[in-house]
Amino acid sequence: MKNPPTDTSDKQDSIEVQLLEAVTRAQSQFVITSDTNAVFDGMLTALLSLTDSEYGFIGEVFHEDDGSPYLKTHAITNIAWDDETRALYEENAEQGLEFRNMQSLFGSVMTSAAAVIANSPSTDPRRAGIPEGHPPLDAFLGLPFFHRDKMIGMVGIANREGGYNKELIDSLRPFLTTCTNLILSVRSRLDQAAVEKSLRESEARGRAILDNAEDAIITIDHTGTIESCNRAAGKIFGYGHNELVSMNVRDLMPAEHSERHDSYIQSHMRTGRGRIIGVGRELIAKRRDGSEFPIELTVNELKLEGKRLYVGMLRDITERKANEEQRSKLTTELTVRLNEVNRLNEENAMLSDLGSYLQACATKPEAYDVLLAHARVLFPNESGALYILTDTEGSDCVISWGDEQDLLSHPIQKHDCWALRRGVVHESSDSKASLRCRHYNGIGAGSQYCIPVMTQNGPIGLLTLHVPVDEAQEKREVDAERTLSLMNGIADRLGPTLSGIELRNQLHEDSIRDPLTKLYNRRFLDETLHRELLRARRSDQPVSVIMLDIDKFKQVNDEHGHDTGDQVLVELADQLTRSVRDEDIVYRFGGEEFVIVLPAAGLDAARERALAVSRDARRVRVETATKPIKITISAGVATFPEHGETNEKLLVQADKALYLAKQSGRDRIELASVLEAS
């Protein structure tokens, strides 16, 4: 009997699990620390370990004034090979090394915005060569990562034994998504710091203006006649120093302010109390040229040689007023920016939580349940749906929510949706001149969003949202921006998740299927037979197995060749599948051997089934150039629990019965011996 080829999916699954742990670790570290270099260093270390690579880097894409791209590293392996390169690394590693040579392997990633695999760099036409003394470059993998459709960074790793392949790239998608989220978060932090710095600088300028202002000092008598003043007063009001003396202070104020000022002085003269004495207040003053400007005035009473005088201290607060207005404007702008940053942080946190759950999903229905739970929280007053494209021009609704979910839950056709037609986001609103998709017919007024769910192979679904009409136009515009951002974030995470689940399912299916006959293989037999025996033990039911092989199959291969032999195996596999019950399972055990597991079938029923299978096998006919090939089979039957209570024992007894059938002349059925099994 032949053993099946060794499967590698377990190792792939291990890499994906470890990547998920590294991604989760990096996201948590970024939240609690401001040291982004440490976060990226940890990400790079995990990446090199998981991919068995020798060195690498994680970098962010920037652009020169002319638009040409260059790369700045957030983390890079120290591969310095002499004093000069060591000094360069130590001086620049912390703030990031910059690379501008696009005629290279990493440059090919940046100019093409696509993954680059070079498992023979020395002969790759995209290479730029390496400096003398540089560590050897035996294999290279460069992976771009994106925000929306814009490349914002890349990962490069080198020297993995055996090189790199597409399967490894697919398993690294969660890692690239995390790199994107980290770069966006770093940029958000830098934007917030820049706004805060701008406000601090503006406030410092305002303080400097106020600290260096020159105050005017004017002394008046009870009639308001100016008796003395300083030079600053003349400068502020546009008069020569001596010109102000003997003028009345009311001449320095607009009429409404001067009359009010006179009444305050007269009231104080009568009662000894006043509303302006010792109290600072803001007024409007008038210059010599008639222009008006704001001042801050403080008046104090002074008695000199029995004469009552009033000393006014005036400060031109034009600059201060302008500064306050500017500061108020900056504060408003900062508040708006901070609210935006907080909104983005909240969205990133919610989307990160969604992404974490999506990455943990093993099946598409699990992913749909996760999305539905988050969508009801993120969009509690809206109605939405997720559609998955079918092989035809249509799509099926897999989840829907909100007041309009019944109308949204019907399948839609590609020609009914502008987003599916054009492959881009489509937004429509009753308040704007925009085209509404036909699949929203019957739904009330409001705004509608259609977001294609994309993978590298194109669209796989459609995410839709209906927002009911809101009377507040400004609020609606703000909410529209937030809604579109959230929807895009969800679609960006959903596409890779569904693609990854599809890939894992395909890999698992490939690992349990025989590639020639498409029957389940021996690995899957071990798993399922064990479960069937446990179920049978709990329900006190029998389980039987039929082990069979093709009589004189070697002669078929020798006379007609292995291609004809393979065709015989395929035809027999099809016949066996048709010959058994729906609940029975047929496996290719190895070579020309097959196993049929019959749940809830006792020995007699299994023997009858084996006889029927033997009769049906004689119908198999494969045409050749010389003559048609007909076959017979020999089979052994064993039953749980009489002939064994474990996989191994049951299969051994069935194999012994098969051997007896072949020794007894072939084309026959033999039953396992209870005595021999004991």
Tokens of 235: 């400068």
Q: How far apart are CA 128 and CA 112, in angstroms?
A: 16
Q: What pLDDT is attached to residue 473? A: 47
pTM for the whole structure: 0.43
Q: Are 606 and 544 within 8 A, CB to CB? A: yes
Q: Which residues of the chain have pLDDT under 70?
A: 1-20, 22-24, 26-34, 202-214, 241, 257-280, 305-306, 431-433, 470-478, 675-678
Bridge partners (DSSP) of residue 281 are 297
Instruction: Extract the runs of DSSP E, i.e. beta strands, from 77-235.
Output: 98-99, 116-118, 140-147, 150-158, 216-220, 226-229
Q: What pLDDT is attached to residue 3? A: 39
Main-chain dihedrals φ then ψ at residue 468, nearest 5 degrees: -60, 155
Distant-in-sequence, close-in-space partners of 600: CB < 8 Å, separation ≥ 6: 536, 541, 542, 543, 583
Tokens of 548: 């069979």
614 HSE (CA, 13 A, CB side): 22
DSSP structural state of residue 160 = -
Q: Do domains 9-191 and 333-511 have the same CATH topology?
A: yes
Q: What pLDDT is attached to residue 678? A: 57
Distant-in-sequence, close-in-space partners of 156: CB < 8 Å, separation ≥ 6: 56, 57, 59, 105, 106, 109, 140, 141, 142, 143
Q: How far apart are CA 334 and CA 196, in angstroms?
A: 7
Pairing of strands 150-158, 55-63: antiparallel
Pairing of strands 633-640, 669-671: parallel
CATH class given for the domain over 9-191: alpha beta
Is the sign of the CA dihedral 115, 121, 124, 128 positive or negative? positive
Pairing of strands 55-63, 394-401: unpaired
The string of pLDDT tens digits covering residues 34-78 is 678 888 888 899 899 989 999 999 999 999 999 899 999 999 998
304: alpha, beta or left, given left = phi > 0 and alpha = psi -120 to 50?
beta
CATH number, span 333-511: 3.30.450.40
Ranges of each domain in the chain: 9-191, 216-316, 333-511, 522-677
Q: What pLDDT is attached to residue 208? A: 46
Q: Are 497 and 367 within 8 A, CB to CB? A: yes
Residue in 169, 316, 326 with CA at minimum distance from that of residue 252: 316
Q: What pLDDT is attached to residue 311? A: 85
Q: How far apart are CA 67 and CA 59, in angstroms?
A: 18
Bridge partners (DSSP) of residue 158 are 55, 140
Distant-in-sequence, close-in-space partners of 291: CB < 8 Å, separation ≥ 6: none
CATH number for domain 216-316, candidates 3.40.50.620, 3.30.450.20, 3.90.1280.10, 1.10.540.10: 3.30.450.20
Burial 444-461 (b: 16+ CB within 10 A, else e): eebbbbbbbbbbeeebbb
CA distances from 386 to 149, 356, 364, 395, 480 (A): 21, 19, 12, 10, 19
Q: Helix and strand tally (H, E) in the chain?
A: 19, 24
Q: How far apart are CA 527 and CA 647, in angstroms?
A: 9
Burial of 351 (0-12, 13-18, 19+ CB in 10 A): buried
Three-state secondary structure call for residue 383: strand
| Strands of the sheet with 307-316, listed across from one edge | 226-229, 216-220, 307-316, 292-304, 280-286
H-type helices in 62-153, by residue range? 83-92, 105-112
Tokens of 340: 């935006």
Count CB atoms within 10 A of the CB of residue 358.
24
365 preceded by a cis bond (ω within 30 of 0): no
Was domain 522-677 assigned CATH 3.30.70.270?
Answer: yes
387's enclosing H/E stretch is strand 383-389
Q: Are 410 and 428 within 8 A, CB to CB? A: no
DSSP structural state of residue 224 = -
Tokens of 441: 């017919």
Q: Are 461 and 420 within 8 A, CB to CB? A: no
428's enclosing H/E stretch is strand 426-429
Tokens of 323: 């500064």
